[in-house]
Structure 1
């Protein structure tokens, strides 16, 4: 289960739905990115103590419309290469629509992981200030599973959580502080949070580029234990660009490193050379 949820980080049915405007209490002011931002990553896996490139990922954010209102459309595509395909095929496409205040509106994940294919969808509405989710899962055997959930607190998915986290004001946090971030897929809500790990200067793999970074861990509590699923490094500037992600799997570890970017909102002042 942990691996299935994690693959949503390193990574459509069209249905008409009506919804109320997103609740302001689930929003946050966006100062980190703008429409037209594109980020590119190389994926690596630790194979017998050697880091091997096993694929690529790309993330884009553009201004769009959803349900008659202006919104951000963010997508993440991960693709394994021939080296990994021999052992495990990874073809994930994640799509998220968020209001301009980054309240989530819709999420979809289509994933081929190994010999398994499934689709997750979530539609968000905000009746009486609550967070209501209509959830849809297409299982590998073709079964359609529907459910609805409603919570007093805000709930996110694996795409909208990244957009939100990039806009945190870290000056408010101390090293070790935990930030509750409940995340859901189409089947269940996780007891999860972000832990602020402090600042670190990171040297990019394969070149001499260094970044000053803020470091966060994504932690989930399952079976009575805390599991760090992901540690990510974002630039210590106004963009908060994810430049490195460490993914902890039960069968090994994987990493993603920023290869390039364009269309960023602010000067990348955290780059040291």
Structure 2
């Protein structure tokens, strides 16, 4: 690929057919307490075309906020920011998170020297201590945001039930052994409404300490937009769900919606 004159990051890119500049997705967050699902917060993800270090880039940010009900048990204030090249290969990632009593920051800068994927990592721990590390990989590496944008552009017509897609994801500390598994197609009725969607269902797994754990299950519209309408999250302190409650600026018609 390098021999054809393509830039190194092109190896890690994918054609974007799923979203356009100005897309905004809003979610309601729910947590399970003693078999009762309680609304505990909201999340919003916005994506637009902008500039990063003078270059054209997709900017996506996700803001997650718990409400007072959740704060009694676990404070959650997360802001994730991602810049990607026009071909969706990652350029920069930042996560600022207040989780419980901890606040920490992760940052990653991506470069692609000699066809490799190089990550310059920076972490600020809850105690204020800073850590810097540079890692170089022969394979493409992603973060929590860039892999999400990439996955929305998978060709669903080529996916087979049970198919596994390696998705190596890094934060400022570790590279995870993680993957997506396509679980098939389902019709999903939105929480608290009559809307129904035809969905692709995918699970995100991570292997740690010799065991595989399903972390998130995605229900994604089976149309060109591939918008997650429901997320089931399996957390260390319980189960949570996110339901899409509003969307605007989508690229294509929501043909997956069943009237």
The alignment covers a number of residue pairs equal to 253
1:188-227 to 2 correspondences below 5 Å: 188-227=174-213
Q: Does 1:101 align with 2:72?
A: no
Find the counterpart in structure 2 of residue 135 from structure 1. 121
2-side partners of 1:119 and 1:251: how far apart?
21
1:22 offset after TM fit, Å?
A: 5.5
CA contact (8 A) 1:22 1:103 kept: no
1:1-273 to 2 correspondences below 5 Å: 23-273=9-259
Residue by residue, what CA displacement relative to the aligned partner does 1:148-172 show, whole Å, maximum 9, x if unpaired?
1110100000000100000000221
Scaled by the length of structure 1, what TM-score is found? 0.92
Residue by residue, what CA displacement relative to the aligned partner does 1:47-71 show, whole Å, maximum 9, x if unpaired?
1100000000000001111122100
Find the counterpart in structure 1 of residue 4 from structure 2. none
* Pairwise CA RMSD: 0.8
CA contact (8 A) 1:22 1:105 kept: no
Residue by residue, what CA displacement relative to the aligned partner does 1:57-111 show, whole Å, maximum 9, x if unpaired?
0000011111221000000000000100111110000000000000000000000
2-side partners of 1:251 and 1:56: how far apart?
18
Give 3-state SS (helix, strand or coil) of 2:258's partner. Answer: coil
CA contact (8 A) 2:8 2:116 kept: no
Scaled by the length of structure 2, what TM-score is found? 0.97
Give 3-state SS (helix, strand or coil) of 1:158's partner. Answer: coil
Residue by residue, what CA displacement relative to the aligned partner does 1:221-261 show, whole Å, maximum 9, x if unpaired?
11111100010011000000010000001221000000000
Residue by residue, what CA displacement relative to the aligned partner does 1:112-161 show, whole Å, maximum 9, x if unpaired?
00100000000000001100000000000000001011101000000001
Q: Which runs of 5+ in 2 are unaligned?
A: 1-6
CA contact (8 A) 2:29 2:243 kept: yes
2-side partners of 1:244 and 1:147: how far apart?
35
